[in-house]
Structure 1
């Protein structure tokens, strides 16, 4: 039986009053794992895996020993998987943060007619950030409640409190997520403004008073003027943060040799957030281009150095109206980012700019430029980081596509979950492009539990494969509706803490902690295939006009983020140009056709049902 808490825990660290994350029964997880993998393996691979799994789960075997240790861990921790998950998903990952890890929210295109307009926008945005931060500081943010299945369940709010108080510190083998919650250190009262690859300290509280919007605009104007000074222009140190994590950790160690650099790093690492005032890129500004510019800044020649990727929140305000926010993903999930950015955009619309009415503080001290002492070694490191970022820029193949033929209203009329429907459409798309099903990641929130983050729904089900094969082979299925319940069951397992991915990860990591030889089940080819997520998907719905985007998580994969609206669906499809197996444009083309084919099937089934009803009614009348 799975281990469950009967009584809710009162541990306020992960959400007061919420239950602990349950621990699924070992047999349930192993049975589900085999069911999830059978159709993704050859007969020979599956036969081998079946034997390995059976041996692992045998009475008195290794699996039972590890499960017992996990049960002990669950008793002693607020969330038994949290640290394992955080390290595995983020902190152990050595890839560069831009594109590979950090997602972005792309705001509606702004129409800045003069340079001052973008600064007014930035000042208004900063005012919104400070309002939101005051809600967080007062713990006055309303508690989130689940929607859809298990609607009304309160959710853990801890992720919100990391938005402006955390920092990802690079390490040679593993990064550290630093939380600024020390009673010794004062609360940060500054933000960092990046402009022309330079960094400036903008104090948002002076003489115990928060700066108003007029003050903020004044300070931003000073920063732009200082950044334009060619005599004081310093190297684009921010480029180092775009490098692989081990390389950046090494570069940071070199920087730390100088006290000037240590002071500058400290100011950046302790700031509330970054505001990046980007130069116009001169590129054609369409949705796909805006998404790419948010993710990587366009490289060293454009705004790639105008960033500090370790900071969770980087608000980008481009002179050409390209605006959004880039996030370091380890402290929080996408829904927390959505809630924050929706608040800010609604604040900017609902709270008109106070620039005209507000009186300015006289003689504001000028913002301070951060200084760097750069040795020839640092210049060499900067050059290497710039080259690698440029390769990443060239490699990213991003396609933002708005499907206008229908949206979630049509899907709901078919009595189906929009998320399940779109997931099946993505399975159909990949199958038509590549002729096979692949391991798929779809995040499912487990915030119903203390310190809950996510688990994986594993939407590449055998039922979905049977459906897409029938659609592709011309054997039209009788209905797409039958997949609705099947997808819902996997979804329900994940959101109730019964998903398999976190459990398998916990078993693997507890074996590592016990200094055991890695169990065969985790060396098996099937386990490697199961964790090579060629399709990395996520629904990120918004109530205001913006969209989320991110890169693929494997070299031969796709990132597929979607935002279902009432009458249309926004898809952000990414892949890497260096892979001969992927092409975002081709994927989008197949996706569009698949969505149309699924609509036709729904209508055909609906017409058939109506026809049967009519025959029955006529029979009754006769």
Structure 2
């Protein structure tokens, strides 16, 4: 029985039309020119007028809410992921970067991989038995049970490319499931590793034996197959076309089928070079380092790709459409704790006497496919050169200091990000912060609009109004900005934010074949959805961090992981944009965090002085 039914989670609410339209205007006013805003105000008024198109669409959404477990889920999934035509690496797929491993010999990395696969199989057993303990909300409104459905897609789904829209394929387990297998990528080739043989799950010793065989097979010079995995790094429409070309040959169809039905991928990467800073490791996880390194040693459509580098650069790259970052964190934390907590069982276990050799997947490649591969390789190289990544550990203070000020660490960091952007660029921009709506059936996320008018007032006081505003006033403004951020967070996590609602209204108009309402053609709506700052908090209890790319060409991706005494930031942008620079953004971010801390200490001294008088 699913956690949804067991806990009787309620359906996602539908906010009132008036509330959403009022909030939309409030969120956009300070991001628009006066002329733009006046135009938008009239359009919104018309849309929300009694008996108008807005009311008609709202009533259709209310019907939809009655008939579906979650009224926005399909619309959101298509809009956020499946309709998006950009390549998955960097643009869509986030990565978790594991602590740097110290492998002294090649066998060490294979031992690590065997141990990791063992952990995956343990976790999969929990999932198959629906034995995973239910998650409860933390942070704001803590303690509510959360929908667990996303976990059950970790190892059972696949993103199939389509010419206009991808499909998220869920594998339903049949009565007689076939032996489960994972795919091991090694030197740009793919191998089938059966993890169940003769109804028995392979132990760690067997897994290591099989991995050693795979490495030998990949090294054998007899057959160096082309790096077919590169095709999955291309734009989605291009990959859909290449896949249909591959499908003409039965050999390729069989290989694709094995990859598409596997539990996950384990990518055994070659060493990538001498310098393995946090920033370098983040980049290598996101794109494999391109064609010359491990860029072809991937299959981006698969939700979980565990990367084990010979040089100790390890982590997981995930296709984001089936689940959110927090689900990825819970899974990877389980695996890392499993590996620390359960000693490697390589010596004790008895081996299956004769293990059949793993199978190398074959490809029949025509000149047309070679041409498509060359094209994909070029595009991946461009993406690799374009990514401007900066991973920074801020050690001056962490979330404990922020909590002592009686402030929410998440809201505080969001205000610091607003300050950093304003310092760099002198203006506020539409900001996305993902907020989980897993309190509801099939809940995924909505958006916290962190670029609030209150945050703008504070950042202006800290930059433009340095001399004219007193520290006490700045402190009040900071508190105001944090309160506004917290209020919007609560709206979002309780299903009352505006982004999903506006999306629902837009999509239902499309379904009803109504001409696109003016509100969705208006410049303000386009600006509101240009998330130049795309942010999310991905906290971990194990030493690792998350990273991802920007969602627009002139934007930043800013992922942060607040720890008790430090905060880890992964900031990304694109070199090709003349407006952005990750190092500059990090510099402004650090400066802002120090200024905000100083504001607290100045305020304490000021209060002491006033008390003495």
TM-score, length basis structure 2 = 0.97
For residue 499 of structure 1, the aligned residue among 497, 512, 515 is 497
Q: Given the alignment of the two structures, is residue 235 of structure 1 paired with residue 233 of structure 2, yes or no?
A: no
For residue 436 of structure 1, the aligned residue among 407, 427, 450 is 427
**What are the Cα deviations for residues 377-430 of structure 1, in whole angstroms up to 9, with x where unaligned?**
000000000000000000000000000000001000110000000000000000
Counterpart CA distance in 1 for 2:612 and 2:195 is 69
- Aligned twin of 1:545: 543
For residue 295 of structure 1, the aligned residue among 286, 293, 303 is 286
Q: Is the 8 A contact 2:509 2:516 kept in 1?
A: yes
| 1:87 Cα deviation from its structure 2 partner | 0.1
- Aligned twin of 1:326: 317
Counterpart CA distance in 1 for 2:41 and 2:20 is 13
Name the CA shift for 1:12/1:155 in 2 (closer, same or farther; >3 Å). closer
- Aligned twin of 1:610: 608
Name the CA shift for 1:19/1:217 in 2 (closer, same or farther; >3 Å). same
For residue 122 of structure 2, the aligned residue among 131, 147, 160 is 131
Counterpart CA distance in 2 for 1:14 and 1:26 is 29
Name the CA shift for 1:245/1:283 in 2 (closer, same or farther; >3 Å). farther
Q: Is the 8 A contact 1:21 1:80 kept in 2?
A: yes
Q: Any gaps of 5 or more consecutive residues in structure 1? A: 1-9, 616-622
Name the CA shift for 1:354/1:605 in 2 (closer, same or farther; >3 Å). same
Q: Given the alignment of the two structures, is residue 481 of structure 1 paired with residue 472 of structure 2, yes or no?
A: no
Q: Is the 8 A contact 2:446 2:497 kept in 1?
A: yes
* Farther off after superposition, 277-286 or 96-105: 277-286
* Farther off after superposition, 597-606 or 339-348: 597-606
| 1:283 Cα deviation from its structure 2 partner | 4.1
Matched position secondary structure for 1:478: helix
TM-score, length basis structure 1 = 0.96
Q: Given the alignment of the two structures, is residue 34 of structure 1 paired with residue 31 of structure 2, yes or no?
A: no
Name the CA shift for 1:577/1:465 in 2 (closer, same or farther; >3 Å). same
Q: Is the 8 A contact 1:15 1:450 kept in 2?
A: no
Q: Given the alignment of the two structures, is residue 211 of structure 1 paired with residue 211 of structure 2, yes or no?
A: no
For residue 246 of structure 1, the aligned residue among 228, 237, 240 is 237
- Aligned twin of 1:375: 366
- Aligned twin of 2:460: 469
Q: Is the 8 A contact 1:11 1:17 kept in 2?
A: no
**What are the Cα deviations for residues 494-542 of structure 1, in whole angstroms up to 9, with x where unaligned?**
0000010000000000000000110000000000000000000000000
- Aligned twin of 1:562: 560
- Aligned twin of 1:158: 149
- Aligned twin of 1:618: none
Q: Is the 8 A contact 1:188 1:271 kept in 2?
A: no
**What are the Cα deviations for residues 289-330 of structure 1, in whole angstroms up to 9, with x where unaligned?**
000000000001110000000000000000000000000000
For residue 426 of structure 1, the aligned residue among 417, 420, 432 is 417
- Aligned twin of 1:577: 575
For residue 53 of structure 1, the aligned residue among 44, 50, 65 is 44
Counterpart CA distance in 1 for 2:187 and 2:345 is 27
Q: Given the alignment of the two structures, is residue 94 of structure 1 paired with residue 85 of structure 2, yes or no?
A: yes
Matched position secondary structure for 1:59: coil
| 1:12 Cα deviation from its structure 2 partner | 6.4
**What are the Cα deviations for residues 349-386 of structure 1, in whole angstroms up to 9, with x where unaligned?**
00010112112111100000000000000000000000
Count of paired positions? 606
Q: Any gaps of 5 or more consecutive residues in structure 2? A: none
- Aligned twin of 2:384: 393
* Farther off after superposition, 468-477 or 496-505: 468-477
Matched position secondary structure for 2:131: coil
Q: Is the 8 A contact 1:14 1:451 kept in 2?
A: no
RMSD: 1.2
- Aligned twin of 1:7: none
Q: Is the 8 A contact 2:179 2:194 kept in 1?
A: no
For residue 449 of structure 1, the aligned residue among 422, 428, 440 is 440
* Farther off after superposition, 352-361 or 63-72: 352-361
